């Protein structure tokens, strides 16, 4: 799991350096700070080559992304107010295995411990805040997304055309790099606020509501 830790460690170091650079630039009243958030996100969500020096697997890269997405999403207060954890759930065939658990081990976001759950149905785990939908669930994607929206979950998948079908974040492969597309309207339907910094590094942004859902 060294590669996963390396990815997250590099991201944290880059974040600290970017913050320091921003402070120095602000003290000089430079125009540069406007670019700092983008640099921070580019470091945090580094589009790692699958053939990088540490040889991270596709699962390791996606797991690192999945964990970091939680830092740039705001849920409704009533969904997280009484929870001591932030649950990442996987529905369907799990492509991560122990990689996702290792990635989030000992980690927290806003004081909430990150936990991983494997579930059979969305309705069985309404406390999930991030839901990864496995490729095996493509045939019943509509019902999964409808249920996830009711519970205010951030939906993520690598199912082809996931965002066009009403999902919120879709992993895509571009020139041997893992990137992600975002459906901003689907996020709004789930009453989620996506950080503008997250949107800046998305490979594509669309606004397409989940068919048949509440506005």
Residue 77 tokens read as 């207060």
Q: What is the pLDDT of residues 157-198, one digit of tens each?
A: 999 999 999 999 999 998 889 999 999 999 999 999 999 999
pLDDT tens string 49-68: 444 446 789 999 999 999 99
Domains of the chain, CATH where assigned: 57-206 (3.40.50.2300)
Strand, coil or helix: 179:
strand
Phi, psi torsion values for 56, nearest 5 degrees: -70, 145
User: pTM surpassing 0.85?
Assistant: no
pLDDT tens string 64-121: 999 999 999 999 887 776 778 999 999 999 999 999 999 999 999 988 999 999 999 9
How would you label 168-192 residue by residue, b for 16+ Cβ within 10 Å and e otherwise? bbbbbeeeeebbbbbbbbbbebbeb
| Largest distance between two CA atoms of the chain | 56
Strands 108-109 and 112-119: antiparallel
């Amino acid at each position: 799991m060294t590669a996963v830790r390396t990815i997250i460690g590099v991201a944290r170091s880059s974040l600290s350096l970017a913050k320091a650079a921003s402070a120095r630039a602000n003290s000089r009243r430079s125009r540069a700070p406007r670019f700092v958030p983008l640099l921070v996100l580019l470091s945090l969500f580094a589009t790692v080559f699958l053939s990088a020096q540490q040889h991270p697997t596709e699962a390791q890269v996606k797991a690192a992304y999945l964990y970091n997405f939680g830092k740039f999403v705001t849920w409704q207060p009533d969904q997280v107010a009484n929870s001591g954890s932030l649950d990442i759930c996987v529905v369907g065939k799990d492509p991560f295995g122990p990689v996702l658990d290792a990635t989030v081990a000992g980690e927290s976001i806003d004081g909430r411990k990150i936990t991983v759950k494997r579930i059979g149905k969305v309705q069985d785990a309404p406390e999930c805040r991030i839901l990864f939908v496995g490729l095996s669930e493509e045939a019943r994607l509509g019902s999964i997304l409808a249920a996830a929206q009711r519970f205010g979950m951030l939906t993520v998948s690598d199912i082809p055309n996931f965002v066009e079908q009403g999902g919120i974040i879709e992993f895509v492969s571009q020139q041997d790099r893992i990137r992600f597309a975002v459906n901003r309207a689907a996020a709004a339907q789930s009453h989620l606020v996506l950080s503008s910094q997250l949107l800046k590094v998305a490979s594509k942004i669309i606004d397409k509501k989940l068919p048949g859902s509440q506005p």
